[in-house]
Amino acid sequence: MSTFTTSSQLRCGDRFLDLREPQVMAIINVTPDSFSDGGKYHAGSALLDKILAQVDLACAEGASLIDVGGESTRPGAARVSELEECQRVLPVVEAIAQRFDVIISVDTSNAAVMRESAILGAGLINDVRALQQPTAMQEAAASGLPVCLMHMQGEPQSMQDNPVYRDIGGEVERFLRQRIAACAAAGVGAERIVLDPGFGFAKTLAHNLELFRRLPDMVAWGCPVLVGVSRKSMIGALTGRAVGERLAGSVAMAAMAVERGAHIIRVHDVKETVDAVRVAQALKLENIAND
């Protein structure tokens, strides 16, 4: 099975992301129904300056990417119209780009949001549907931006009803390699690809744990790997904690993801995760030096 060679830097528009050490991506959900912080930064309940204050804090705490999302992808979430998602996301992308020296990631499957966000200064497309929506592949290719391809079985509305796999690792690998090939055919080269195994998306706890154990296999392909487990139900299942009480579990998994080779950690709690990532990376490098 062919592999790719990860560059030390990922070009994200007019900025570069250093892949020689793990980076932290801060989550900014401008939605009324996100599982963890729904409504916190939704345009109907918070002003833009509140969002920008959170971005400022995330950058100060060490985030190198800001992930802006206008459609909830929690289990059972309803789809959002193209117009509504544009109205939620684009003003935020524009304001962040004008005020902060940070890479903006746009969490979207919507082709129009991809196109307009790239024009406004976004540096990464983060698509849970791996560019399978109408014209999404074409817009992603035209943008020139890197793309994060995530594995998900089905759609958020029903993805957790009864996810079944014969071989979770093998099926996720086949799907992502097929999407990499589709990207290459559309003009999106391997140097623009980031991979996300999709923890919590159409997967049981056992599926998530098996994927996490096999994370080094995906890292070995050579593409940068993004891990998003912050506050997710898998941590709740392991700890018995409610969403707002999952910080310790989230930080622990972030550190273990770094130990297993992940390049980008997507989180709600930036400061605590940055500390954990730095410690995990230092220990990882020490182990390598001693081998």
> What's the CATH code of the domain at 72?
3.20.20.20
C-alpha 55: how far from its chain's center? 16
Confidence category of residue 44, pLDDT binned at 50, 70, 90: very low
What's the pTM value of the predicted model, to 2 decimals?
Answer: 0.90
User: Which pLDDT tens digit goes with each residue over 239-271?
Assistant: 999 999 999 999 999 999 999 999 999 999 999
- 236: helix, coil or strand? helix
List Cα–Cα distances, 208 to 103, 110, 151, 237, in angstroms: 28, 26, 12, 11
* Within a domain: 251: no
Q: Which of 266, 271, 278, 284 is catalytic?
A: 266
Task: Quote the CA–CA distance of 46 and 73 in Å, as a whole number.
Answer: 21
User: Which pLDDT tens digit goes with each residue over 109-131?
Assistant: 999 999 999 999 999 999 999 99
Q: Where are the beta strands (DSSP E) in the chain?
A: 9-12, 15-18, 23-29, 65-69, 103-107, 124-127, 147-150, 193-196, 226-227, 264-267
Q: Which of 88, 192, 232, 260 is catalytic?
A: 232
CB 114 within 8 A of CB 106: yes
* Within a domain: 85: yes
- pLDDT at res. 41: 45
The string of DSSP letters for 257-277 reads HHHTT-SEEEES-HHHHHHHH
Question: What's the one-letter identity of residue 277?
Answer: V
* Within a domain: 11: no
Helix (H) or strand (E) holding 216: helix 215-219
* Within a domain: 241: no
* Within a domain: 8: no
What is the residue range of 181's domain?
19-228+261-267
pLDDT at 45 over 50: no
CB 131 within 8 A of CB 147: yes
**115 tagged catalytic:** no
Q: Where are the beta strands (DSSP E) in 108-212?
A: 124-127, 147-150, 193-196
Mean pLDDT of 198-222: 95
* Least-confidence region, from 10-14, 33-37, 144-148: 33-37
**284 tagged catalytic:** no
Mean pLDDT of 192-220: 96
* Within a domain: 240: no
* Within a domain: 283: no
* Within a domain: 235: no
Count: domains in the chain:
1
Q: What are phi and psi of 175, to 5 degrees?
A: -60, -50
pLDDT at 138 over 70: yes
- pLDDT at res. 3: 59
* Least-confidence region, from 53-62, 121-130, 159-168: 159-168
